[in-house]
DNA sequence: CGATAGGTTGACTTCAATCAAACGACGTGG
DNA sequence: CCACGTCGTTTGATTGAAGTCAACCTATCG
């Protein structure tokens, strides 16, 4: 089951989603829902980019995931949202009543399985992220992030990616500061691994990103 | 839905589990399954303690969770296990065929919902961990870990907990080194927040653990 | 006993954070 | 058209928290 379905419409057994959902828009930095809200709805991102956010009392921020067109989120069975969701850029979403989804799942075992698989996917990525945050160096986190984004953002192999999020979002996603993210990117540029033009990043040497331990660490 | 069900038997809608499962034993440090294995089975820990582990090629290790009696794990819908599971101490587990579980879920919507909720719980804890690993200091991680273990290990309010895992496991769980864990514990002991007797830790000042920023940091 | 595994402590290093400044792009209003 | 403010980014200098390296301690067990 591929993570990224078509942005236009959910695939296969998820088709019934379209009968329940309504389309909503969120402009840049707008909150879609807030941590602690009753989890009335699940979502599929149609266009744009969404970040999931958890905040500590003192303002420290962790961006859990960046969601891209086709991604489904907030489908897991929890009474309240355990994170906030905010639009990174102007975005369109399809919104589904969780109650209706659960009810539908009760009558369609195939749909119920799909739901479980989708949540399983989220769990897998969350676990991968734990390794990144707990055990990888700044350079490794950055390289891994660029590779992930390259895979998710552009099918074409040109290696050019237009990042929707700014450096602060990247930093809060990777457990780093914005300065460390900048320095890491600069370092990659100096080594000829990438080219940087503000939000547009071109991957020049993909293998070097895959093994940042080798010659990347000066 | 509480996280820790009775160790002896699954609760409520999960009762059917017992008809499918068999009991298995794992001795200290024994692998229950390995990352990449086909996910044929799901598990419920009956007694002991299990750690979930992900390894990087160079040996760096991340312990995702510590599972305690009553905890269910590896129920998420993934074709292969995305982590290894190892017994921290001699443990007993109940093992369930994933195929049978899925099939049962197809015929019992209530069971299917329970399954989704259980996976949702795992997702919630994974997300909380991401904040810990990405944004918290060593002292905060340690304090949070002790509070979590106090909640999960002993119902009695004496504040004495017998940690099943060693310092290395704790370190790999918290994204720290063993030395930093030791120093952090020593610091807590010096402040009178805890008492340490090898694996037995007594919480003397629970509020101080809850707000480690205040006077805990030197 | 000696060997081993796990835990603690000390000295020193290092990677990333912090503090600080400047730059570039962009949009608005004079 | 240009001046100005804002926002995001980049770079430099310095600090500091946690890592590394190393030694030693303490149980436990054959």
How far is B139 from A65, CA to CA, in rounded Å? 26
Q: What is the mean pLDDT of residues B196-218?
A: 76
Q: Which pLDDT value is given to residue B38?
A: 98
Residue of chain B whose Cα is closest to the Cα of A177:
B135
Residues of A engaging B, defined by a Cβ cutoff of 8 Å: 54, 56, 58, 60-62, 64, 76-78, 82-83, 102, 105-107, 109, 112-113, 115-117, 119-124, 126-131, 133-136, 172, 174-175, 213
Among A85-89, A210-214, B186-190, the minimum mean pLDDT is found in: A210-214
User: What is residue B92's DSSP assignment?
Assistant: E
| Residues B103 and B5 sit within 8 Å (Cβ to Cβ) | no
Q: Which pLDDT value is given to residue A212?
A: 52
Strand, coil or helix: B206? helix
How far is B182 from B187, CA to CA, in rounded Å? 9
Q: What is the mean pLDDT of residues A136-143?
A: 98
Name the average pLDDT for chain B: 90
Going by pLDDT thresholds of 50, 70 and 90, the confidence category of residue B19 is confident
Chain A: closest CA distance from residue B122 (Å): 8
Going by pLDDT thresholds of 50, 70 and 90, the confidence category of residue A174 is very high
Strand, coil or helix: B140? helix
User: What is residue A28's DSSP assignment?
Assistant: T
Q: What is the mean pLDDT of residues B49-58?
A: 97
* Residue among B1, B101, B88 nearest A116 (CA): B101
Q: Which pLDDT value is given to residue A10?
A: 58
Q: Which pLDDT value is given to residue B14?
A: 73
Q: What is the mean pLDDT of residues B152-156?
A: 80
Q: Does residue B69 have a pLDDT over 80?
A: yes
Residue of chain A whose Cα is closest to the Cα of B123:
A123
pTM tops 0.85, yes or no? yes
Q: pLDDT, tens digit, for every residue of B118-144? A: 999 999 999 999 999 999 999 999 999
- Side by side, the strands of the sheet bearing B160-162 are B160-162, B200-203, B194-197
Q: Does residue A207 have a pLDDT over 90?
A: yes
Chain A positions in Cβ-Cβ contact with residue B60 (cut-off 8 Å)? 135-136
Q: Which pLDDT value is given to residue B10?
A: 60
How far is A68 from A46, CA to CA, in rounded Å? 8
Q: Which of chain D's bases lie under 7 Å from a protein CB?
A: 8-13, 17-22
Residue of B61, B120, B131 lying closest to A76 (CB–CB) = B120
| Residues A16 and A25 sit within 8 Å (Cβ to Cβ) | no
How far is B110 from B11, CA to CA, in rounded Å? 13
Q: Does residue B212 have a pLDDT over 60?
A: no
Q: Does residue A4 have a pLDDT over 50?
A: no
Q: How many CB atoms lie within 10 A of CB A86?
A: 21
* Residue among B188, B167, B187, B189 nearest B178 (CA): B167
Residue of B116, B133, B135 lying closest to A116 (CB–CB) = B116
Q: What is the mean pLDDT of residues A87-113?
A: 95
Q: Does residue A71 have a pLDDT over 50?
A: yes
In DSSP terms, B92 is beta-bridged to B25, B47
Going by pLDDT thresholds of 50, 70 and 90, the confidence category of residue B159 is confident
Q: Does residue A16 have a pLDDT over 90?
A: no
Percent of chain B scored above 90 by pLDDT? 83
Q: Which pLDDT value is given to residue B52?
A: 98
Q: Which pLDDT value is given to residue A83?
A: 98
Q: Does residue B2 have a pLDDT over 50?
A: no
Q: Is the CB of A60 under 7 A from strand D?
A: no
Residue of B107, B109, B126 lying closest to A126 (CB–CB) = B126
The terminus-to-terminus CA distance of chain B in angstroms comes to 39
Q: Which pLDDT value is given to residue A211?
A: 65
Residue B159 CA to D20 C1' — how many Å? 34
Q: What is the mean pLDDT of residues A7-11?
A: 54
Q: Which pLDDT value is given to residue B163?
A: 97
A215 or A102, which is more confident = A102
């Amino acid at each position: 089951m591929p993570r990224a379905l078509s942005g236009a419409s959910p695939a296969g057994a998820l088709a019934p989603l379209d009968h329940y959902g309504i389309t909503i828009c969120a402009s840049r930095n707008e909150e879609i829902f807030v941590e602690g809200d009753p989890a009335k709805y699940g979502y599929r991102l149609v266009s744009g980019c969404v970040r999931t956010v958890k905040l500590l009392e003192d303002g420290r921020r962790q961006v859990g995931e960046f969601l891209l067109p086709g991604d489904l989120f907030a489908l897991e069975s929890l009474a309240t949202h355990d994170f906030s969701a905010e639009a990174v850029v102007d975005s369109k979403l399809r919104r589904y009543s969780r109650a209706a989804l659960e009810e539908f799942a009760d009558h369609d075992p195939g749909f119920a399985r799909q739901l479980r698989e989708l949540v399983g996917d989220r769990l897998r990525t969350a676990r991968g992220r734990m390794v990144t945050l707990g055990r990888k160096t700044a350079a490794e986190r950055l390289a891994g992030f660029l590779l992930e984004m390259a895979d998710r953002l552009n099918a074409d192999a040109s290696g050019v990616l237009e990042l929707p999020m700014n450096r602060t979002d990247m930093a809060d996603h990777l457990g780093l500061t914005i300065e460390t993210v900048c320095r890491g990117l600069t370092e990659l540029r100096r080594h000829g691994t990438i080219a940087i033009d503000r939000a547009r990043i071109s991957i020049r040497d993909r293998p070097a990103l895959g093994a940042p331990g080798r010659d990347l660490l000066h």
